[in-house]
Structures are given as structure tokens and as C-alpha cells.
Amino acid sequence: MTADQWIALLAGIVGGALRVGAPFLFVSLGECLTEKSGRINLGLEGVLVLSAMASFGGAYLTGSPWLGVLIGASAGALLALLHGLLCSIERVNDVATGIALMLLGTGLAFYLGKPLIQPQAPQIPAIPLGDWSDNAAVRAALQVNALVPIGIVLALLMGWGFARTRFGLLVRLAGDSASAARALGYSVSGIRIAATTAGGFIAGLGGASLTLFYPGSWNEGISSGQGLIAVALVIFARWSPLRCVGAALLFGGAGAIGPALQSIGIGWGYHLFNTVPYVLTLVILYLSCSPGKVAAGSPGELSSAR
């Protein structure tokens, strides 16, 4: 490989980390909020696909990408609300409900999104971070989704909110000890439903960045388990919103290896390189979990449910 190819490959991976990492970032922040309240929402995979479709449709119909983002996030919040409500019914298991919503969200998105496969929708503007360079590949790779800075601010806000605000503390209380929250007179179900719904809204922003930035169109293969990887990411990030940012970028970079190699003409093992994020997730889970021990930083109600 020539030096230019190396630069292009590196730029592809770094740029890809920001581009491919955006949905990971939002879904892991949403899942982080949900899990802090003591529930696991595997249905965020369904939320991601449904909100991707809804934001694309919204942007296409209204002509404004930002309205599309709002519509997508709201659709995600609605599906997550359903998860929150279902799990509040006695004897209903949150993992099973998550699987059901994964199927339902994907099905609804494919069903309603059928007419959206052809059209083009207005896209979220890009922030050109690569203007300092005169290498075209670098400049193209460093076009950053305008939602990414919003996500980073959101992570900072969430980190601060969990430590300092009333709602943040209530969420943590419900997640760490439901009985303590109940004893203080708070409705644990209410807090969890609110946290799950807000988590769905945040994850919906991830769906919007899929269809309105990268890859930037709606099709039925738009998500392949990013929502689930994000669930594993939260374990890796030890339930800290700030560490979610780093983890999302790492996974984005891993996911960008295949396309980056292909862009410089190396096609061998394309499908294998595409599995790198999944393998990486498993390896990280393998290293960060240990038998019979609760993962560090895990909300108390989550571990007791297992």
C-alpha cells in the first residue's frame, strides 16, 4: 500500500468512527438512562429501526431534516413508552418484552416504510472538520454529523444530571433499590416508565442519524443489530454516560474498517470485517464480565433481577 492509501484508510476509520458511531452513541445513552432506572430495554433495536424510518419519512414529507429528527425521536419514545407500560404489568419480563418490541418495531418500520425506499429526503447538515487538510479523502471522511456534538453535550448533561438533579437521583434510586424508592413514597413504575420513554427518545436520535446522515437513505437492512450492540456497550461503559461516548466511537471505528478497506480497493473479507463490532463486543464482554460477580457500576435492581 502507498502512503496515500494508508492516509485514506486511516481517515476512513477515524471519520467512520464519528459517522458509524453516532447511532451507537445515542442508543447507548438511551439504554444507559433506561438501565439506570432498573430495566433492560432490548427493544431499542426496534426503536432504532422505527425511528430511522419515521425520521426519514418525516424529513421527506415536511422538507425539514430537523422536523424529521423530532418525528423520529418521538416515534422512538412512543415505542419505548409501550415497553415501559408493558413491563409495569405484574409478571411481565423486561427481556422478553424487549424481544417482542424488537420484532414489532422492525415490522412496523418495514410496513409503514415501504413507500419510502425510493425517495430522497433532506439530510442533516454536516460539520466539515477536515478543512485544515488538503487531502480530498481526509476532507470527505471528516464531514461530521451535526447530531454528534448534540450527543456529546447530552452525555455531559446526563452525567451531571445523574449526580446533581432531582430526576437523576430519583432514576438512580429506582434503579438501585426499588423498595427504598417505594418507602420514600415514589412510584417506581412511574419513574421507570418516564426513564424508558426518555431513553427511547434519545435512541430515536440515533435512528435519525442512520437515515438522515449515514448511510442517508431508508432501506430494510438499515440496522443490523446496532441497537443490541449498544446494550452491550452500556455494560462496557459501566453505566456512565461519558464512557458511552468513548465506547461508541471505538465501536464506530471497528464498524468502519470494512467499508474503509473497500474504499481503497481491498474487497477480500468484506463480510468478515463487517463482523468486527460483534466480535469486539463479545471479546469486551468476555473480559469485563466475570462469573458470580456483579459488573462494576451496575444498578442494583438489574443484578438482582438476573
Partner 1 sequence: MRESLREFALPVLAIAAALLLFGLLVSFTGVSPIEVWAILFKGAFGDWFSWQNTLQRAAPLMLTALCVAIPARAGLVVIGGEGALVLGGLACAAVAHALPLPANVVGTAVACLAGAIVGAAWIALAGWLRQHRGINETISSLLLAYIAIGIFKHLVEGVLRDPASLNKPSTYSLDAGLLIGGIAGSDVHWGLAVGIMACIALGFWLRATPSGFSVRVVGGNPRTAQLVGLPASRLIVGACAIGGACAGVAGAVEVAAVHTNANASLIAGYGYAGILVAFIARHNPLAIIPVAILFGGFGAAGSMLQRRLGLPDASVLVLQGIAFVLILASEGLRTVDWKRVGARPLQRLRLVQKASA
Task: List contacts with partner 1 (CB under 8 A).
Answer: 42, 82, 86, 89-93, 95-97, 99-101, 103-108, 110-111, 114, 220, 224-225, 228-229, 231-232, 235, 269-272, 274-275, 278-279, 281-282, 285-286, 289-293, 306
Beta carbon nearer to partner 1, 136 or 272 = 272
Q: Which amino acid is at 44?
A: L
- Give the integer Cα–Cα distance in Å for 48 and 30: 11
Q: Tell me how far, at minimum, the Cβ of 274 lies from partner 1, in Å.
A: 6
Beta carbon nearer to partner 1, 64 or 298 = 298
- Give the integer Cα–Cα distance in Å for 26 and 68: 16
Q: In Å, how far are 88, 94, 232 from 38, measured between CA atoms? A: 12, 10, 16
Query: Maximum CA pair distance of the chain?
Result: 67
- Give the integer Cα–Cα distance in Å for 9 and 136: 13
Q: Tell me how far, at minimum, the Cβ of 220 lies from partner 1, in Å.
A: 8
Cell of 22: 453516532
Beta carbon nearer to partner 1, 213 or 251 = 251
Q: Tell me how far, at minimum, the Cβ of 89 lies from partner 1, in Å.
A: 4
Q: Tell me how far, at minimum, the Cβ of 3 lies from partner 1, in Å.
A: 29
- 145 strand-pairing partners: 126
Q: Tell me how far, at minimum, the Cβ of 108 lies from partner 1, in Å.
A: 6
Beta carbon nearer to partner 1, 110 or 186 = 110
Beta carbon nearer to partner 1, 3 or 287 = 287
- How many CB atoms are located within 10 Å of the residue 297 CB? 12
Q: Tell me how far, at minimum, the Cβ of 211 lies from partner 1, in Å.
A: 17
Beta carbon nearer to partner 1, 104 or 152 = 104
Beta carbon nearer to partner 1, 139 or 238 = 238
161 CB burial (10 A radius; 0-12, 13-18, 19+) = middle
Would you give the DSSP letter of residue 1?
A: -
DSSP H/E element including 145: strand 143-145
Per-residue b/e over 168-187, b at no fewer than 16 CB within 10 Å? bebbbbbbbbbeebeeeeee
DSSP H/E element including 127: strand 126-128
In 3D space, the residue among 75, 2, 17, 1 whose CA is nearest the CA of residue 260 turns out to be 17
Q: Tell me how far, at minimum, the Cβ of 155 lies from partner 1, in Å.
A: 22
Q: Tell me how far, at minimum, the Cβ of 102 lies from partner 1, in Å.
A: 8
Beta carbon nearer to partner 1, 65 or 199 = 199
Q: Which amino acid is at 223?
A: S
Beta carbon nearer to partner 1, 163 or 285 = 285
- Give the integer Cα–Cα distance in Å for 35 and 244: 13
Q: Tell me how far, at minimum, the Cβ of 271 lies from partner 1, in Å.
A: 4
Would you give the DSSP letter of residue 124?
A: P
